[in-house]
Amino acid sequence: MNILRALPVVLAEIMALWTAPDRPLAAEVVPLEGMWQVEEGVAADEMPAAFTHEVPVPGLTRQARPAFPDVDHYETHEFIWTMKHYGVLPAGEVCPGSARTRQERKFFWYAKTFCAPAAREHATLVVNKAQFGTAVWLNGRKLGEHAGCFTAGRFDATAAMRWEAENCLVIRIGAHPGAMPEGAFWGSDGEKGPWTPGIYDRVELRLADNPVIEDVQVAPRIGSSEIVVQTRLKNYGAARSVELAQRVRRWKDQGEVGPRACRPVQLTAGEEKAIEQTVPVPGAVLWTPDNPFLYELETDTGGDLRATRFGMRELRFDPAARVAMLNGKVCYLRGASLTLHRFFGDPKCGGLPWDEAWVRKLLVDIPHRMNWNAFRLCIGPVPQRWLDVADEAGLLLQYEFPIWSDRPAESSGKKRHESWREAEIEEQAREFLRDNWNHPSVAIWDISNETHWDFLRARLIPALRSLDRSGRPWENGYLQPQDAGDPYETHPYKFSDHVFGKQPPFFQMADLEGGPREETPSDWRTRHASLINEYDWLWLHRDGTPTHLTRKVYDHLLGPDATPQARLAMNGYWLGGLTEYWRSQRRHAGVLYLAYLDGDLPHAFTCDNFRNIETLELDPHFERSMREAFKPLGVYLDFWQPTLPPGARRAYRVTLVNDTHEPARGRLTLAWLPESGKAQDAGAEQAVEVAPCGRASYEIELTAPTAEGRHVLTATASWPGKPWSPTLSRRRVLVATAPSAR
């Protein structure tokens, strides 16, 4: 009876709170994706009188209809230097200054109208990524400029907003890097011809009341099953006292996890303040590639509300063992490097990077099929949606800030980084962390590619390291790592000696036989884990023709008259064998080949291994070999001799590596197959066992076929109960009485 009498009073109080005019509203996000109008221009301060083209946002300006001519033509001095270095252009080719282009335009102007909702105390326009440089006007009022090509630009739109009315938004971007101010940072890639402009990530309007949540950073602490939350608040109004509340939910079913964490906060007028709280996550489920479990943190100020997705995971490198440790356990990284910004220049790129089904096939379906758990995002960042998908797929990402600056940027021989403003580099790198630090997939920060620049080690990485509350490791190009727990990159391009003037005999796969041939690391390299995130000099265009870098490789090894199919077959075969080799040595914490996604252009130096990029159909030779080479139970048949006499009996060495945390027990079979693929004998077989994350080698004797002809020697390791078992390593051999020239 007491409860029934009190019920009307409780309901009345709830309704009063609900209808009170000063009741805080939840934050609002107004997405501004879709078709925009676009027009070209020359002057930075002359907005077009009319817009005669349409373009999707997010996307690239080369998608505009009607199309603009030469929209991404821009050749840097580094690119011209590279073309001359490899003999594509004559030595006398001239590039005055730092670049050349056929374009007269310098800017593209994007325009869109939208209807704003009811008034809020603050509005922030976010342009998540655009290049080259961003300037914004709302209803004729300039909101500001943002120089970053790889980070989010944020603009205070409050004063210019027309609430509950139509608004006109105009965004100006550079048509090419030449539109950027002197000394501005817009990345570097000496092997890229097209420099493609566009608003290539989401644009959105964030609306809230004070105090506004500027940033949230979530740092997992798996040992104590809690998170450290850093919230940066900005009070754009009068002084106030608020309660900052944090609540954790499971992402998929939105079930609450643990109690709310609340803290009173005092803010003066205009004050910005960073608040740190520790929030328990009882019974935390750890995020791993096999189980990418996600949580969501709700941050509430009463006037603003932010949802932040995160995963409970920690990745470190053990400098003594020189391995990666994911959540305290050894984790070998297997995968590839991915160069999206080179793909932007591909004629078939179109809107594929923003097609949800295409992106999920690229980042979820194919990596799962290929037994990959890691990628390096190289020479330019990806849209935020890609990182969302990677979080859900369980990918471990080495995220590279796009510095690659050791080639001359001008005819004077000055390197690219010598013209950059270091303070701007630091500011953009800080934004890079801010934009990406809550993604569990982002496991390793990478400050550069193949670069020697002391500023990175002496100043930049130390300044950035303190900002990341998760304590991720940093990779530092070709310089010594900055911290004991940081890895270094290595690019063992074995086949490159066919290009760089070495005298015959050039490197061939038989040179690998008998064990590791790379030099033993010396000096500081012995104290750090190494990541192979590029190998090997074997790129082909998707039609099987060599790129500028690999023509000599295939001419020397297959002959200048080799067919495209013969090259594609050898490409897959060699890449698979090299992958087996690098994994079998257990000298590297990760093995990631270059490149999973790339641009296929006439002047391309590198390329990917897709037969059809629009349907994401891999070349079958590549897929067959690399899927086997990257299986969790790796098999390396240490034999590369091209010929054997009939009936020859010898011992063959086979090395197995186990990337799982359970002992591998099964059988290893060595057998000969004719090239037709039908087995001719039972071969030799023995039981094998490999310790968790271990390595084991076996010697098995086998007699070669007596029939002359082309045969395949196979080593097959089976592990009962594993869905990807068995793992196959194969070697092509000519059985013949007289040796045959390779």
Q: Are residues 188 and 71 in the same domain?
A: yes
* pLDDT the model gives residue 95: 86
Domain boundary among 612, 629, 646: 629
Q: Give the distance between the most distant pair of CA atoms in the chain.
A: 104
Q: How confident is the model at residue 414 (pLDDT cuts 50, 70, 90)?
A: confident
CA distance 653 to 699: 5
User: For residue range 302-331, what is the model confidence (pLDDT) as tens digits?
Assistant: 999 999 999 999 999 999 999 999 999 999
Residue 159 covered by a domain: yes
Q: Are residues 162 and 107 in the same domain?
A: yes
Q: Are residues 296 and 358 in the same domain?
A: no
* pLDDT the model gives residue 23: 38
Residue 3 covered by a domain: no
CATH number at residue 708: 2.60.40.10
User: For residue range 631-654, what is the model confidence (pLDDT) as tens digits?
Assistant: 999 999 999 999 999 999 999 999
Report the number of distinct structural domains present in the chain. Answer: 4
* pLDDT the model gives residue 403: 94
Q: Which residue has the tokens 């092997």?
A: 191
Q: Are residues 172 and 232 in the same domain?
A: no
Q: How confident is the model at residue 1 (pLDDT cuts 50, 70, 90)?
A: very low
Is pLDDT of 526 > 60? yes
Alpha carbon separation from 339 to 53, 376, 450, 551, 621 (Å, rounded): 29, 9, 15, 22, 22
Residue 197 covered by a domain: yes
Q: Supply the DSSP string of 517-582, one letter for each residue.
A: -SPPP-GGGGGS-EEE----S--B-TTS-B-TTTHHHHHHHH-TT--HHHHHHHHHHHHHHHHHHH
* pLDDT the model gives residue 518: 55
Computed from CA positions of residues 498, 503, 508, 513, in that sequence, does the dihedral angle turn out positive or negative? Answer: negative
* pLDDT the model gives residue 522: 74
What's the CA angle centered on 360, arms 356 and 363, to 5 degrees?
Answer: 135
Residue 336 covered by a domain: yes
Is pLDDT of 16 > 90? no
Work out the average pLDDT over 30-35: 97
Domain boundary among 208, 233, 258: 208
Is pLDDT of 412 > 80? no
Q: How confident is the model at residue 517 (pLDDT cuts 50, 70, 90)?
A: low
Residue 483 covered by a domain: yes
**What SS3 state is found at 3?**
helix
Of all helices (H) and strands (E), which one includes residue 307? strand 305-310
Q: How confident is the model at residue 262 (pLDDT cuts 50, 70, 90)?
A: very high
Q: Are residues 683 and 657 in the same domain?
A: yes
User: For residue range 155-164, what is the model confidence (pLDDT) as tens digits?
Assistant: 999 999 999 9
Domain boundary among 163, 188, 208: 208
The three-state (H, E, C) secondary structure of 229-253, written as one string: EEEEEECCCCCEEEEEEEEEEECCC
User: For residue range 353-402, what is the model confidence (pLDDT) as tens digits?
Assistant: 999 999 999 999 999 999 999 999 999 999 999 999 999 999 999 999 99
CATH number at residue 366: 3.20.20.80
Q: Are residues 200 and 79 in the same domain?
A: yes
Is pLDDT of 468 > 70? yes
pTM, full prediction = 0.93
E-only strand ranges, 116-202:
122-127, 134-138, 141-146, 153-156, 166-174
> Comparing 502 with 657, which gets the higher pLDDT?
657
- In sequence order, what are the beta bridge partners of 334? 591
Q: Are residues 616 and 692 in the same domain?
A: no
Residue 521: which residues within 8 A CB-CB, separation 6 or more? Answer: 530, 587
Q: Are residues 339 and 238 in the same domain?
A: no
Work out the average pLDDT over 282-306: 97
Residue 245 covered by a domain: yes
Q: How confident is the model at residue 2 (pLDDT cuts 50, 70, 90)?
A: very low
Q: Are residues 409 and 509 in the same domain?
A: yes
* pLDDT the model gives residue 183: 86
Q: Are residues 163 and 219 in the same domain?
A: no
CA distance 479 to 364: 33
Q: How many residues in the chain?
A: 742
Residue 710 covered by a domain: yes
Q: Are residues 181 and 259 in the same domain?
A: no
Residue 9 covered by a domain: no
Domain with 276, as residue range(s), is 210-303
The burial of 151, by beta-carbon neighbours within 10 Å (0-12 exposed, 13-18 middle, 19 or more buried), is given as buried
Q: Are residues 82 and 225 in the same domain?
A: no
* pLDDT the model gives residue 727: 98
